[in-house]
Structure 1
Amino acid sequence: MAQRRRVRRALVAVLTLVLAATMATAAGQFARADDPVKILLLLDVSGSMNEKISSGGTKLAAARTALKQVADALPDGTQVGLRVYGSEIEEPKEENPKACQDTKSVMPVGRLDRARMHRAIDSFDAVGETPISYALEQSIKDLGGQGKRVVVLVSDGEENCVPDPCPVAEKLAAAGVDLQFNAIGLDVNSKARQQLRCIVDVTDGSYYDAEDTEELTDSLQKLTKRALRPFTTSGAPIKGSLDRGEAPVAAPGQYVDSYDATAKPRYYRIERTPGSTVSAALSTVVSPFRGGFNQETWSLRLLTDDGETCTTGTSGGTASFGTSVHTASVTTAYWGFDPADRCVGEPVLLEVVRTSYQGNKATAKVELVVREDPPITNLAELPKNLTAWKGASTVPSRKSAPVVGGTAFSNAAELKPGSYRDTIAAGETLFYRIAAEPGQTIRATVDFPQPGTESAQGSVAVTPKVRLLSPIRNTIHEDSSGMVGEIEQPTRLTTGTPQLRIRNREIDIKDGETGAIGAATFGGVHYLAVALSPNLDSESGRIMPIQLNIAVDGAPAGLPVYASPSPTPEPSTAAPTDPATSPGGPGSEPTPGPTNSAGPVDPGRLEGALLGTLGLLGVLLVAGVITVLVLRRRKRPS
């Protein structure tokens, strides 16, 4: 009986966290208030759900109990529905072909009514086939075509009406930008697990195993505090052109686009004030290809209208056990301010190329940020560039305050000097904002785990990593270290910036030290990215408390004087303009976009109000991150 309760509790935990996290994924995006997250629970009630699980009781009984407890845990106002398949037709599909269309909505998607949901959960039996593909198609109809739509599939077996449900999932995903599939395999075999993983991979969702008491208990230990959260893209929609002459105008702001795997260049036109500094950044995720190894490269180039290269940037990496976050950026900052130079004085084109390996053809969503800094009138009076930097020194610990890291750049939690505590799951990347101006230096020390806390049971096989990124999202400095075996003392990683100076861009970049100096050339919001990558698939989801110690040294000094209003710190999410009708001329100031900064929060809310404080959570297995950000520049003319 105790084992059966553990099975049910673990299944409840996984279901609840998947629901909580997927609901919150949309909270970090720029969604309309009248487009709430809609969740559909899709339950397998084929005949095999009457089988006993190893700890006693049937799979169906465990699922009923889990669903009822999930209903009790969801907050008021949740948009949720329930669909089942295999509940009506007992004859096999060979005798009754309609068995492959045996699915029904037992509770339409709508505002949560707990009593109604309990009745719906008790309203069906497990008798039929396993038409996963057809049920997925009907699920999308249940959810409608607007807003963030999430399907949570619970199945104990493989599709048996079509050879492979993955092509159907891919087709449905391609038609729904804000669609996410998640799945839980309940005591499944390898073929069923492969099918379910494929379904969730097409939308960067998550798969969880609930095979037996031991693994369910392990899942409960890993995920009771926090589900994995996905990197989310946000901004105004834009579509890069394959033709340079038809490139859409991307004013300073933030955009979202999607890329196929054809490796064809896409172009965006950036108008500018002569002598201004233009920067562009791309953020995306690389996902495993059907549960396996994947490798991708994203290349950025700023060029003139006739194709002369101004500057390039590349982000390349792999994904093995889950998705990994990648950024790439390019900037004309290293060209100086001579308007006679075409890369300084004329509009430029942003070229983006995605190269995907291992046969991966899945569409990838990207977030693009365009920034323009007006010409600086007092450049000669500003401090000259640094010539050396030996890295950031450790930040001492203080009394810590709770904080919840963001899931992306757009909802990064704000950190001021001091100490903070958070929790991270293996496979997760958390984002934080730290403001600093020229004359100041940022230092950040992160302890894995937080000193004085229990990190996890047993040995670990994870790799923590910290990165400090500039306002244009290029990496200034990073630090990482593998953790294998029993944890005897925390792993302490420190990252930071050289002293920020506008003229640091004048340094001749030769290596990592000079590269860090050259990247520390912008004032404003910097980003601390903290990742915990699993080195084994079984490590995904391992919870670890962390402590972040933050210092911002010095006072603002050597501030630039701009020829026109200074850059807007927050990117705009206004829609892009047509090249022929662009109202914004060179030097026009971007409209600030919405912000979502999160400061320290009460940890009680994190555990007590399931979705209220998991408002930014989602489900994602992330790992195997090897990110390379290369910033090349042409030799500066004498």
Structure 2
Amino acid sequence: MRGRRGTARAGRGGRAGVVTLASVMLLGPAGALPGQVAVADEAAEGAGAYAFAEDARRIDGAASTAESVPLEPGRTYRSTLPASGTVYYRLELDGTTSAYASATVVPPAGRTASVIDGVKVSVQDGEGRSCDVDTASFGTAGSRHPVAAWAMREISPRRSLCQEAGTYYLSVERVDPDGAGSSPGPWETELTVVSEPPAEKAGATSAPKEWNSASPQPFPGKPERRSGGAGFARATPVGQGVWRDDIRPGQTLFYKVPVDWGRQLYATAELGGSGTGGSGYTAAALDLDLYNPVRGHVVDVGVGYDGGQKAQSLVPLPQVAYVNRYAAVRQVGAMRFAGSYYLVAHLSAAVADDFGDGPVPLTLRVRLSGAAQDGPGYAGESVPPDVFTVTEEEDREAAAEDEDTGDDAAFRALAVGGIGTGTALLAGLGVWTLVARRRAVP
């Protein structure tokens, strides 16, 4: 796991520290032999490129706000980020809807990286005051791969800044504290902006202080083959169940899980035996990240690897609820809306040093608990439409069918027993089996 995020928020408390593994060793390129680095580089280069959205519009970031080009909610853009300096984009926002901007950076694969090298994004008002800031880094894996950071202009009764209609700016820059630079050239970036209308009725303005925070047993069953996508726009849909793929050193796989209002998401990542007979240990071999429907980072977990079976689970998160946005802890606030949540798995290029560049078995165990609830009732339409809802009829039908199967009773008993005394949030489990549309990856 990475311990890789830093956040500053106007009018809010500081972000809670990211969960870390006590056994994670910060392995940098200085400790690797030249031959080992070359093996990792070659493996990562062959792992496949990031799949940008097909309809992404090419734009250039500006060196100053005066020359910035506008970003429209609901559209996807493709741009570049220079090795140094900040680039700006313009946002024209009204005084009623919240806006969420995300930047996914795609550095060249197959090179080592600093633990804290990455990207920083912020939304600023016309006077240069910060509305929100977020950073994302490559973390202890030491291998460059696509990461996303997000920032927002949020309309909230608990905020004083950034509430008026007007011109705002999204700034994007590299994070390179030591000045060495993990790569001298520009990075490709994918930019998105999503708008969220206000709720029809004013409700509670405080986040829930308690939720079911016990970890259930990972979802049981035989894995079903489901190839991961190569980008957010090409993420493979999965539901509750056990999903299997192979992942190569340096490769990043994307999956998306529909999570309705009131439901909790649990996920476990497993690495299987390499079968190559290699030896060694990579402390941060696999990084599993969870992103929300606007590509906002929620939480991540790391899996160490010694060539044998290893597994780790994401920390338990609260059920999806509108009032989560009022939480002081950012990972709770990120669970603020329903929609497609993204599970992004990256296998460090360093795994090739000890176990070769062949694929490693990857299993994702996804569990959803709690009954779906009504949303907040928006006074308007989000842009793009339905981004904060679970609308696929086949998803709901599959869940209803699986709840009627004989195996469901066993799942319920296992889930309730694994959560703790007096808790029955997992009593209504259904297996969401989605029909994955396998898309060709360029």
TM-score w.r.t. the length of structure 1 is: 0.50
CA distance in 1, matches of 2:139, 2:278: 28
Q: Alpha-carbon deviation of 1:495?
A: 5.1
Are positions 1:408 and 2:227 aligned together?
A: no
The question of whether the paired residues in 2 share the 8 Å contact of 1:468 and 1:497 is answered with no
CA distance in 2, matches of 1:261, 1:319: 21
Are positions 1:562 and 2:375 aligned together?
A: no
The question of whether the paired residues in 1 share the 8 Å contact of 2:143 and 2:250 is answered with yes
Gaps of 5+ in 1: 1-189, 209-222, 510-514, 572-597, 602-612, 618-638
Could you say which residue in structure 2 is the equivalent of 1:270?
Answer: 91
- CA-based RMSD of the aligned residues comes to 3.5
1:384–1:556 Cα change, 3 Å: farther
| Deviations 1:17-41 (CA, angstroms, capped at 9, x unpaired) | xxxxxxxxxxxxxxxxxxxxxxxxx
Give the structure with the larger helix fraction.
1
CA distance in 2, matches of 1:320, 1:495: 19
2:363 to 542, 547, 554: 547
Could you say which residue in structure 2 is the equivalent of 1:324?
Answer: 145
Q: Alpha-carbon deviation of 1:329?
A: 0.5
Could you say which residue in structure 2 is the equivalent of 1:578?
Answer: none
User: Bigger radius of gyration, 1 or 2?
Assistant: 1
Q: What SS class does the counterpart of residue 343 from structure 1 fall into?
A: coil
1:344–1:544 Cα change, 3 Å: farther
Q: Alpha-carbon deviation of 1:399?
A: 2.9
**What letter corresponds to residue 294 of structure 2 in structure 1?**
I
1:517–1:392 Cα change, 3 Å: farther
CA distance in 2, matches of 1:533, 1:391: 29
Q: Alpha-carbon deviation of 1:274?
A: 1.4
Are positions 1:479 and 2:301 aligned together?
A: yes
The question of whether the paired residues in 1 share the 8 Å contact of 2:249 and 2:359 is answered with yes
Could you say which residue in structure 2 is the equivalent of 1:436?
Answer: 259
**What letter corresponds to residue 363 of structure 2 in structure 1?**
Q
The question of whether the paired residues in 2 share the 8 Å contact of 1:318 and 1:324 is answered with no
Q: What SS class does the counterpart of residue 117 from structure 2 fall into?
A: strand
**What letter corresponds to residue 332 of structure 2 in structure 1?**
I
**What letter corresponds to residue 243 of structure 1 in structure 2?**
S
Tell me the percent identity. Answer: 20
2:190 to 360, 367, 371: 367
CA distance in 1, matches of 2:262, 2:299: 18
1:281 to 102, 107, 116: 102
CA distance in 1, matches of 2:159, 2:289: 34
2:52 to 233, 236, 250: 233
The question of whether the paired residues in 2 share the 8 Å contact of 1:379 and 1:560 is answered with no
Q: What SS class does the counterpart of residue 517 from structure 1 fall into?
A: helix
Q: What SS class does the counterpart of residue 274 from structure 1 fall into?
A: coil
1:376 to 185, 199, 204: 199
CA distance in 2, matches of 1:239, 1:314: 21
Report 1:148-547 matches (<5 A): 207=42, 228-234=47-53, 235-252=56-73, 253-263=75-85, 265-287=86-108, 291=111, 293=113, 296-317=117-138, 322-333=143-154, 335-336=155-156, 342-343=162-163, 345-356=165-176, 357-359=179-181, 360-380=183-203, 384-388=206-210, 390=213, 392-449=215-272, 455-462=275-282, 463-484=285-306, 487=308, 489-494=309-314, 497-509=317-329, 515-535=330-350, 537-538=352-353, 539=355, 541-547=357-363
CA distance in 1, matches of 2:311, 2:161: 48
CA distance in 2, matches of 1:362, 1:558: 47
**What letter corresponds to residue 446 of structure 1 in structure 2?**
A
Q: Alpha-carbon deviation of 1:285?
A: 2.9
**What letter corresponds to residue 532 of structure 1 in structure 2?**
L
Could you say which residue in structure 1 is the equivalent of 2:20?
Answer: none
CA distance in 2, matches of 1:319, 1:395: 25
Could you say which residue in structure 1 is the equivalent of 2:17?
Answer: none
Q: Alpha-carbon deviation of 1:337?
A: 5.2
1:600–1:247 Cα change, 3 Å: closer
Structure of greater relative contact order (alpha carbons < 8 Å, 6+ residues apart):
2
Q: What SS class does the counterpart of residue 420 from structure 1 fall into?
A: strand
Q: Alpha-carbon deviation of 1:266?
A: 1.8
Report 1:60-139 matches (<5 A): none
